[in-house]
Amino acid sequence: MPLSKGIDAPDFEAEATTGKVKLSDYKGKSIVVLYFYPKSFTPGCTREIQRFVELYDQFKELSAEVIGVSVDSLSTQKRFAEKYNAKFPVVSDKEKKISEAYQVLNEKGTSAQRVTFIIDENGKIVEVLEKLKKAEEHADKALEIVKKMRGK
């Protein structure tokens, strides 16, 4: 079971396609949409990143940052982000520490499940999206939630 809403989001520092990313750097500044996905370049994960890319400017207008995470290597993440023009950080969680902290590893412990966390400016998890029918729905639902949080 992934972490539930209402608790503090575990901080992390990790290598990403945009350089080092530290969750606490966003505290007090922006909402964070932290999405975990199983594997780069698979059909569902490709549709998901494409949708986050399409909506990214809207997230930014609402002072929200998107961060994608999977257990793929940094070189794979860089190819994945470049191919789909992801301007947001895509994190390599090769050691699975972030996935473990958020309790999203699959039963075998080989990859992350598809789960999206919405984290407010205070670092609290305000929403957890999982078990959605389509991978790309994570981006749309996350945007709806961020809009509500911003009163839009």
The owner of tokens 């966003």 is: 26
Is 33 among the residues known to form the active site?
A: no
What's the whole-number mean pLDDT along residues 71-81? 98
What's at 43, amino acid-wise?
Answer: P
Q: Is the pLDDT of residue 26 over 90?
A: yes
Residue 19 CA to residue 123 CA, distance in Å, equals 21
Supply the DSSP symbol for 112: B
Q: What is the pLDDT of residue 147?
A: 98
Structural domains in the chain, CATH included, are 13-149 (3.40.30.10)
pTM for this predicted structure: 0.97
| Interval 104-142: pLDDT, tens | 999 999 999 999 999 999 999 999 999 999 999 999 999
19: β partners: 16
Please identify which of the residues 9, 16, 23, 45 carries the catalytic annotation: 45
The sign of the dihedral angle between the CA atoms of 12, 6, 38, 25 is: negative
- Tell me what pLDDT residue 1 has: 87
- From residue 23, alpha-carbon distances to 42, 80, 106 in Å are 26, 21, 23
Chain segment 41-66, per-residue pLDDT in tens: 999 999 999 999 999 999 999 999 99
